[in-house]
Structure 1
Amino acid sequence: MSGDRRRDDTVKAHMPLVGHLVREMLARVPAHVSRDDLLSAGYAALVAAARGFDEDRGVPFARFAAARVRGALLDELRGLDWASRSVRQRARRTDSARQELTAELGRTPTVAEVAERLGCSVEDIESADDDVQRAVVFSLQGFATAGAEDMVTEKTPGPEDMLIRRERMGYLAHAIEALPERLRAVVRGYFFEERPMAQIAVELGVTESRVSQLRSEALSLLRDGLNTHLDPNLATPVKDGCVARRRAAYFESIADRGTLKSRLALTSPDGLPVAA
């Protein structure tokens, strides 16, 4: 069998892998992201992987191709505006309304109060929040695994690159562990266990609106916590006040959760989470 025919057969046999990775990615990004665009990028990466695959490396093709396809999907998403313009406009109006109501009421307004101020339904507010928050989660995951897709272009991943990736994933795990109990429960339940917000609300004894607020607070803490330790230039400056001191204490607690050795122990040599 000719080399071209063998590559064509390899590509056809692994096309379902692209579909699986695209479905996995779509579950973590806003609904407006095009499935067809991701599939096109994934199939192109699969073809490139088949052309560049070297059996002598001793790495199974499926594993090699999966890394290349994930990298292509990340590149495709980086070129997109994860939250559409209309979603961002609604998010800005919602934030302004929340700030105005907070000043007037002296407390955090409920979703119903924000909806009334904007003249829309509670569902509209929660839908827009959900799209923006999923974009934030994807950016956190991309931050934690940044550089992974570039490693597969080398004959063997550089040990320094692999250590950096594993350290980032370890920091993310410790940042989640360091969250206050309720925030940690919301993050794990909503994003990792993919449970309905209503179910989480019942377990915590709060409303769904409150769960949405806790989710936003948790993601803000995670983002700034990771940036504080791994990319300080992107971290939001900590100001004076009780809230600022609590955030600073949280950032410090992430570092106190472990050492480089313990963070590396949370992932395998391939940079994947170690099963509990």
Structure 2
Amino acid sequence: MIPTQRTAEPAAPRTARAATAPRSASPRTSRRDAAAVEALVTAHLPLVGHVVREVAMRLPAHVDSGDLAGAGAAGLLQAARGYDEETGVPFTRYASTRIRGAVLDELRVMDLVSRGVRSRGREMHGVEDSLTATLGRRPTREELAGAMGVGTAEVDRRRAESGVTVSSLDAPVAGSGDGGEALARTWAEGLADERPGPEELALRAERMRVMGAGVAALPERLRRVVVGTFLEQRPLAEVAEELGVTESRVSQLRTEALGLLRAGMEAVLEPQRPAEAPVGVAARRREAFYADVALHAAAAGVGSAARSAQAREELAARAAAPVRTAASVAAVAAAAAVPAQRQAVRPAPWATRQALPA
């Protein structure tokens, strides 16, 4: 059999056929150059503001339009890169759809509640509005649960979920003052934690220890006035009767004690005082009181551990010193009394000489 011309033609290889076949440029796979995309985005940039304003009309006031505008601009850029003129769809309509979708995606990201929760909430509110129109009143939990075909617990859960709202911390919170004037502050100011921090708590504890040291270092009379009037909350008349003075004198002693306490605390907490030698008895007494307050404060834990131990030992020695001094004074007084008694009993020398015979 003689092959015909058609059968005699060899089959072209697939690779060669694919190489020689004309390839039609696909608009979806081709990419627009950067200059054309930029020109398209610049010309239709006002469309972003129009779509954002249209969507924001149904949104609460705390939603930031700037974030939505940024998402809309990103959607416009994607629309400019993927637009195909051969579809016959105007770019404005195509870009509006892409911009709206980008804005809605941004809203879903900003929402703390899932789409399912929002959908169930809208369903419940729709049934509730229908029952309200039918009954002429708001339905009860049982009526709403029966119309929805769920239990009352599910109704409560959906109400709790739909009641979740998102608000900006920079949003003003309106209120009224004592005089009826309008006050405005942000949620961030209202939610600020006004509790003291660790540093402030440490400073307060140190001040309290220094104050206790100052009270312990006060003279006995002033310390009894401070303890009786402030710590024990006793009336002035009772403290005056205990001290054997008038109430006005107790008030004067209290003022004097408060002045000493304030000065002693400042000397310990703010020791930047001029190093000058005290002149006069009063100045020396004040310096001695300041040193005594510092000693009691160190014993209470203000300062290093070594200084605290040293201060406690010094205070213990000081507390034991008056007992030994009193005993030694009594012993010295008794010892001094014995020679006096002996001298009183012993006869005078001249009397003895007179008693001798001539």
TM-score (norm 2): 0.30
Quick check: which one's helix share is greater? Answer: 1
TM-score (norm 1): 0.38
